[in-house]
Amino acid sequence: FPVTIKTLVKSKMPSVLDKLGIGKDSKETWKPWEPRSDPQRMALTTPADIVGFGGSAGGGKTAIIKILAVTQHKRSIVFRREYPRLKDVIEKSKKLLRGSGASYNSNEKIWRRVPGGRTLEFGAAQYDKDIENWRGIEHDLKAIDEVTEFSLDQFLFLTGWCRSPDPHQKCRVLFTFNPPSQFSGRWVISYLAPWLDPKYEQQTGRPMAEPGELRWFIGVGGKDQEIDVKDFYITVDGCCIVTGK
């Protein structure tokens, strides 16, 4: 059974998004933007399969998605709930990729010929039925900007085909979020309970996780359950059973 590694990173300082287009206007001298804060570096270097990047507005969260896409992944997609909300993300990607030799198709909303043979796509799922447009489409980076705009079911569906035919390619789900302002977005607290739910330690007997700390999970009965990596587990009739050390 698959074991999933999660982590949470929290932004602490102002964004430098406006400085994304730092490369000169030639393919030979183009260089992607580099992280300017410890939380950004943490998000770029973590081995986690699922990365949550939380914090207040202006913490450089969306920038991390684009940097991962153009430096570590071959086939990436960034989702927002509605296409109009992607406008700012797309404009900043143009600053980032200026002079790189990449080409943008505004009809398909995709960058091709990103250095390294990469692509960067943008998508949306405004209505529940819209998620079906993305069924079976593989990306090795599935990124969701402002994830609390989505329901948990939408999030799980859109990130379900995070895979690659290349066995050496790291596959990753990354999502950003501000503190949820509506009840519909509070599922993220349960999804990242070891980092966000103050009742987690009392309810599970496990300590709260620090920002950037890795935790391991398996799916049991349709829900993620934290496990200890030193143990071996099997699932029987929806229950998690420790089988040895």
pLDDT tens for the 245 residues of the chain, in order: 456 777 787 765 444 444 444 334 445 578 888 888 888 899 899 999 999 998 766 667 889 999 999 999 999 999 999 999 999 999 999 999 999 999 999 999 999 999 999 999 999 999 999 999 999 999 999 999 999 999 999 999 999 999 999 999 999 999 999 888 788 899 999 999 999 999 999 999 999 999 999 999 988 777 888 988 766 555 555 554 555 54
Residues 244 and 233: beta-carbon distance below 8 Å: no
pLDDT at 56: 66
Residues 100 and 215: beta-carbon distance below 8 Å: no
CA distance 118 to 219: 31
Distance of CA 108 to the CA centre of its chain: 22
CA distance 15 to 142: 22
φ and ψ of 71, to 5 deg: -125, -30
pLDDT at 241: 53
pLDDT at 194: 96
pLDDT at 211: 92
> At CB < 8 A and 24+ separation, what contacts does 39-43 make?
39/9, 39/10, 39/11, 39/12, 39/13, 39/211, 39/212, 40/11, 40/64, 42/9, 42/211, 42/212, 43/9, 43/68, 43/174
pLDDT at 10: 72
Please give the model's pTM, rounded to 2 decimal places: 0.84
Amino acid at 17: L
Written as six digits, the tokens of 41 are 């570096």
Amino acid at 204: T
Tokens 């507005």 sit on residue: 57
pLDDT at 180: 82
pLDDT at 240: 46
pLDDT at 11: 66
DSSP state of 74: S
